[in-house]
């Protein structure tokens, strides 16, 4: 046989075998079909879902007779805790509300321990209410806590947005109009670790951070009205240091001897207006200038206030006192020392004495730890691995450690606002000194100038006559005295480090104040 013929016959045989083998495989692919040659259909049963999310929660007027609107909740997670935040009108009966909700496909919803049907099941929402979404697979679930409050939904939406976006557990807000309390509300949690969790109320105490400063200035100007000091008194100078016959500085005996250049020229007013001559910095620059409060400079860790001031009086000022503005926390701590020197008591004692004239008695200096907080004080929650209790409150007392409530602060502002409904506790001429812009000539003036403990005016928020913000780890605050007779305050028990946080806080309070003006 020729080689080509052998090749052709072999190839044909191979193809024949391959065809038979393919047929055998095909007739048996049914897998247990009894050799019928019929293929069983593929398994098309859908996978069982493990999704367990709540996507909508609201109270529809159609399901709740007497409800004029359809309030819709903000569903959020704050510090790992799932919360449903919703506001209903003041007239609402919280004991029998019918919620409408949406959850993951084929998931079941339990509210207050009972199976719930959207738009049908009535629930008592007078306290914190547990809502559990259980997935179709029966093994996955997610718990939410529904916090229903009575109030103005438009105002509260501003707060819910801040809480949700910036991870803030608790906020307190209060506003006044024509020197009468208009709106006061607490949101979220004062203590997330307690059982049950403690809700915020508008009379709870919050650390104020730098909102403490206007209260320190109030103490100084009260001493001024009593004839015990003048804003033009020197602070550290020996007698005669500023010319023949010039008076000894109020604290000269506390910080005796020669001082660095410029220090003996510092007056009380320079500390009040952040024009002391010391430049703000958290670490010492080439001249040694530093603000040794809230600092990252390890030289000041564990140091007393007196030790920190001793460092500064031996550090030359960067400019002539009164010539320029540079925000300086230590200056207000020194003002607290001046209060103690003149009164012979603690700063806290005199602060309470002054604010009692406005009817405010529940005001204190904060303590250093969570365990030391007052019974009606919130807990503080730091972000980005910071420590909410790292600052020595005895050191920062006058510049940033006052604790007060939103309602108290509005009562206090109404007593220093030139109004006639609530008697002012300072004379008009004194208030004129407090609310004068002493720094507007110092460019750039981006957010208003500075008076005595207040920022004066705001380039964008033009209805603000004066205001002050405050921020330390675990605390964020803003207070406003309005030009139109509307004042406001917003206090947070956490501080975000997202870049737009402060702007968002200011705008939220401004919107709440505008709403107050519209409806009260």
Flag whether pLDDT at 77 surpasses 60: yes
Flag whether pLDDT at 446 surpasses 90: no
More confidently predicted of 222 and 282? 222
Domain 209-277+318-519 has CATH 3.40.50.720: no
Flag whether pLDDT at 266 surpasses 90: yes
Contact yes or no for 472/400 (Cβ under 8 A): yes
User: What band does 296 get if pLDDT is binned at 50, 70 and 90?
Assistant: confident
Two structure tokens written together for 396: 């920062």
Flag whether pLDDT at 275 surpasses 50: yes
Flag whether pLDDT at 86 surpasses 70: yes
User: What band does 35 get if pLDDT is binned at 50, 70 and 90?
Assistant: very low
Q: List pLDDT tens digits, range 308-327.
A: 999 999 999 999 999 999 99
Residue 284's φ and ψ, nearest 5 degrees, are -65, 135
* Closest listed residue to residue 205, CA positions, set 193, 218, 194, 190: 190
According to the model, what pLDDT value does residue 83 have? 98
User: What band does 2 get if pLDDT is binned at 50, 70 and 90?
Assistant: very low
Q: List pLDDT tens digits, range 344-389.
A: 999 999 999 999 999 999 999 999 999 999 999 999 999 998 899 9
Class of domain 48-149: mainly beta
Q: List pLDDT tens digits, range 224-234.
A: 999 999 999 99
Please state the pTM of the whole predicted model: 0.90
Mean pLDDT, range 171-190, rounded to an integer: 98
User: Which of 55-64, 133-142, 294-303, 445-454 has the least mean pLDDT?
Assistant: 445-454
User: What band does 441 get if pLDDT is binned at 50, 70 and 90?
Assistant: low
Flag whether pLDDT at 180 surpasses 90: yes
Q: List pLDDT tens digits, range 395-430.
A: 999 999 999 999 999 999 999 999 999 999 999 999
User: Average per-residue pLDDT in the chain?
Assistant: 91
* Closest listed residue to residue 473, CA positions, set 398, 405, 401: 401
- Which regions of the chain carry the CATH code 2.60.40.2340? 48-149
Instruction: In whole angstroms, give the CA distance from residue 263 to residue 288.
Output: 13
According to the model, what pLDDT value does residue 443 have? 52
According to the model, what pLDDT value does residue 442 have? 53
Flag whether pLDDT at 36 surpasses 60: no
Residue 342's φ and ψ, nearest 5 degrees, are -75, -40
**Residue at token pair 């015990």:** 228
Flag whether pLDDT at 30 surpasses 80: no
* pLDDT cut 70: percent of the chain above it: 89
User: What band does 39 get if pLDDT is binned at 50, 70 and 90?
Assistant: low
Q: List pLDDT tens digits, range 332-344.
A: 999 999 999 999 9
User: What band does 43 get if pLDDT is binned at 50, 70 and 90?
Assistant: low
Contact yes or no for 309/330 (Cβ under 8 A): yes
* Closest listed residue to residue 83, CA positions, set 186, 181, 168: 168
Do the strands 81-88 and 141-150 form a parallel or antiparallel pair, or are they unpaired? parallel
- Which regions of the chain carry the CATH code 3.40.710.10? 209-277+318-519
């Amino acid at each position: 046989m020729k080689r080509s013929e052998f090749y052709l016959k072999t190839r044909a045989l191979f193809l024949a075998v391959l065809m038979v083998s393919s047929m055998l495989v095909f007739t048996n692919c049914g897998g247990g079909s009894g050799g019928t040659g019929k293929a069983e259909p593929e398994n098309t049963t859908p996978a069982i879902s493990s999704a367990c999310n709540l996507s909508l929660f609201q109270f529809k007027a159609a399901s709740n007779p007497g409800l004029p609107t359809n309030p819709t909740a903000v569903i959020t997670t704050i510090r790992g805790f799932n919360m449903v935040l919703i506001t209903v009108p003041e007239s609402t009966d919280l004991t029998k509300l019918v919620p409408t909700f949406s959850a993951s496909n084929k998931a079941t919803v339990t509210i207050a321990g009972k199976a719930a049907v959207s738009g049908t099941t009535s629930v008592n929402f007078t306290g914190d209410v547990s809502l559990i979404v259980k997935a179709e697979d029966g093994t996955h679930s997610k718990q939410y806590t529904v916090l229903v409050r009575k109030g103005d939904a438009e105002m509260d939406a501003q707060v819910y947005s801040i809480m949700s976006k910036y991870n803030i557990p608790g906020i307190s807000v209060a506003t006044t109009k024509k020197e009468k309390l208009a709106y006061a509300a607490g949101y979220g949690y004062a203590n997330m670790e307690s059982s049950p969790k403690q809700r915020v109320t508008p009379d709870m105490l919050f650390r104020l951070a730098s909102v403490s400063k206007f209260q320190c200035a109030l103490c100084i100007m009260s001493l001024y009205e009593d004839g015990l000091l003048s804003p033009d008194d020197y602070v550290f100078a020996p007698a005669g240091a500023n010319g023949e016959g010039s008076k000894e500085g109020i604290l000269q005996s506390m910080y005796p001897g020669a001082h660095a250049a410029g220090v003996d020229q510092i007056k009380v007013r320079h500390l009040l207006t952040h024009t002391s001559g010391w430049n703000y910095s958290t670490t010492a620059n080439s001249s040694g200038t530093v603000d040794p409060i809230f600092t990252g400079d390890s030289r000041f860790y564990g140091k007393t206030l007196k030790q920190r001031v001793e460092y500064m009086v031996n550090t030359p000022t960067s400019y002539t006192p009164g010539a320029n503005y540079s925000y300086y926390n230590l200056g207000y701590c020194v003002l607290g020392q001046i209060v103690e020197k003149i009164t012979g008591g603690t700063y806290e004692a005199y602060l309470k004495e002054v604010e009692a004239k406005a009817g405010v008695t529940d005001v204190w200096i904060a303590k250093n730890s969570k365990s030391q907080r007052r019974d009606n004080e919130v807990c503080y929650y730091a972000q980005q691995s910071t420590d909410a209790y790292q600052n020595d409150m005895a050191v920062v007392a006058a510049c940033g450690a006052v604790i007060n409530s939103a309602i108290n602060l509005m009562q206090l502002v109404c007593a220093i606002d030139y109004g006639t409904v609530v008697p002012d506790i300072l004379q008009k001429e004194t208030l004129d000194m407090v609310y004068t812009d002493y720094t507007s000539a110092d460019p750039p003036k981006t957010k208003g100038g500075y008076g005595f403990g207040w920022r004066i005016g705001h380039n964008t928020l033009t209805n603000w006559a004066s205001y002050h913000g405050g921020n330390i780890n675990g605390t964020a605050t803003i207070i406003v005295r309005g030009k139109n007779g509307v004042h406001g305050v917003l206090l947070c028990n956490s501080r975000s480090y997202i870049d737009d946080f402060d702007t968002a806080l200011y705008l939220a309070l401004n919107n709440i104040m505008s709403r107050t003006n519209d409806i009260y």
